[in-house]
Chain A
Amino acid sequence: MDIRLYMAQRLSALVMAPLVLGHIAVMIYAVQSGITTAEILGRTQGSILWFLFYGTFVLAVSVHAAVGVRVILNEWLGIKGNTLNLLSWAIGIGLLLLGGRAVLAVTFL
């Protein structure tokens, strides 16, 4: 891991930390008295705020997890060079697509 990957992983963790706390706080608050899918979607649909909140989270997770899994692939399975680069990008982009699709589904689609 060089300094660029290191900073990418640490900075994405920095972004994730408050978002995770926010997510958990909202879950505890919102679900207290029970909540239906329609009620959730009613709050999230068309909301720029929730789009940005979870959009940022998905972006940070994609970067963070891609770097982390990259290190594991390298140290535990001995994968190196281009294969390692390709796999890391695939994981990052894969998470971004899956997460992005979910965020769009509850906010704008």
Chain B
Amino acid sequence: MEVKAEFLNVTVSRGSGDGVYQEAFQVPAYDNQTVLDVVSWIQQNVDPTLTYRFACRVGMCGSCAMMVNGQPRWTCRTHVKKVSTNQKLKIEPLRNLPVIKDLVADMDPFFGKWVEAEGVHHPTRTRYEPIEQIDPQDAARTTANEGIECINCAVCYAACDTVTNNADYLGPAALQRAWTVYNDVKDADKSAILDAVSGKGGCHSCHSIGSCTHYCPNELNPMQAIAGLKRATSKSFFKKGR
């Protein structure tokens, strides 16, 4: 007869740089338990120096993403049962980003590329003019809506092999943001966005592998957004010759 294990065998990546090592912990198993619960239990009961990030615990803030058994997950909404069948968990900081300490990745490159991709608002009006009326059924608005639930968790960025192999590549989150702003009826500088995503690390570096779409915890489709940017930039290439 099989005895139900009461403990999870958890391996956690500790340290940073050359001093990275794996530490094993035994954590009590519960029926309902998220990966973030496991990390918090270790920090509260075994080692208070364990460093990790979280804030909302309900999948809104995007700060708790980590690699769980080799795959990027939002840990506060990931049940242990869904990602581990043998009571084993391997928890590491997000892939494709420098590590600050333990489970905390340095998000600077990720957010830097967000700005580089020109995913910023270029207003059509000043604050002294009346607010523009937007038709919610408008085709561009509908396309923009598809990307607005992004919580900047960087799961897609960690999942992307093109990011791993090409340091210049802006990555799925930044490009999806650019596509969203590009489709925003209230955005006044669409050519600035197309220029920003047409450079060396722009949307054309994407190989359509699709890990971003596969792993996005909010079930967004960055791969489709990037395909949209490829179409828009190609059209403008034929029109303007660049």
Q: Which residues of A contact B (CB under 8 A)?
A: 1-7, 10, 71, 74-76
Q: How far is the CA of A98 from the CA of B199 in the complex (A)?
A: 32
- Given the complex, which residues of B lie within 8 Å of A75, measured CB to CB? 162, 165-166
Q: Which residue of A lies closest to B202 (CB)?
A: A2
Known contacts A2-B204, A6-B204, A75-B165; 20 further A-B pairs (Cβ under 8 A): A1-B200, A1-B204, A1-B205, A2-B200, A2-B202, A3-B202, A3-B204, A3-B233, A3-B234, A3-B237, A3-B242, A4-B242, A6-B234, A7-B234, A7-B237, A10-B234, A71-B205, A74-B166, A75-B162, A75-B166
- Given the complex, which residues of A lie within 8 Å of B200, measured CB to CB? 1-2
Select which of A2, A71, A74 is within 8 A of B198 by beta carbon: A2
| A76 x B165 contact (CB < 8 A) | yes
- Given the complex, which residues of A lie within 8 Å of B230, measured CB to CB? 6
| A5 x B204 contact (CB < 8 A) | yes
Interface size on B, residues (CB 8 A): 14
Contacts of B214-242 to chain A: CB distance below 8 A: 230, 233-234, 237, 242
Q: Which residue of B lies closest to A75 (CB)?
A: B165
Q: How far is the CA of A74 from the CA of B234 in the complex (A)?
A: 23
- Given the complex, which residues of B lie within 8 Å of A5, measured CB to CB? 204
Q: Secondary structure of the B side of the interface?
A: helix
| B198 x A3 contact (CB < 8 A) | yes
- Given the complex, which residues of B lie within 8 Å of A76, measured CB to CB? 165
- Given the complex, which residues of A lie within 8 Å of B165, measured CB to CB? 74-76
**Most A-side CB within 10 Å, residue of B162, B200, B204, B205:** B204
- Given the complex, which residues of A lie within 8 Å of B166, measured CB to CB? 74-75
- Given the complex, which residues of B lie within 8 Å of A71, measured CB to CB? 205
Q: Which residue of A lies closest to B204 (CB)?
A: A6
- Given the complex, which residues of B lie within 8 Å of A7, measured CB to CB? 234, 237
- Given the complex, which residues of B lie within 8 Å of A74, measured CB to CB? 165-166
| A2 x B234 contact (CB < 8 A) | no
Distance in angstroms from B172 CB to nearest chain A CB is: 16
**Most B-side CB within 10 Å, residue of A1, A3, A5, A7:** A3
Closest 6 CB pairs of A and B: A6-B204, A75-B165, A3-B198, A1-B204, A1-B205, A2-B200
A-B contact pairs, 23 of them (CB 8 A): A1-B200, A1-B204, A1-B205, A2-B198, A2-B199, A2-B200, A2-B202, A3-B198, A3-B204, A3-B233, A3-B234, A3-B237, A4-B242, A5-B204, A6-B204, A6-B230, A7-B234, A7-B237, A74-B165, A74-B166, A75-B165, A75-B166, A76-B165
- Given the complex, which residues of A lie within 8 Å of B205, measured CB to CB? 1, 71
Q: How far is the CA of A32 from the CA of B165 in the complex (A)?
A: 47
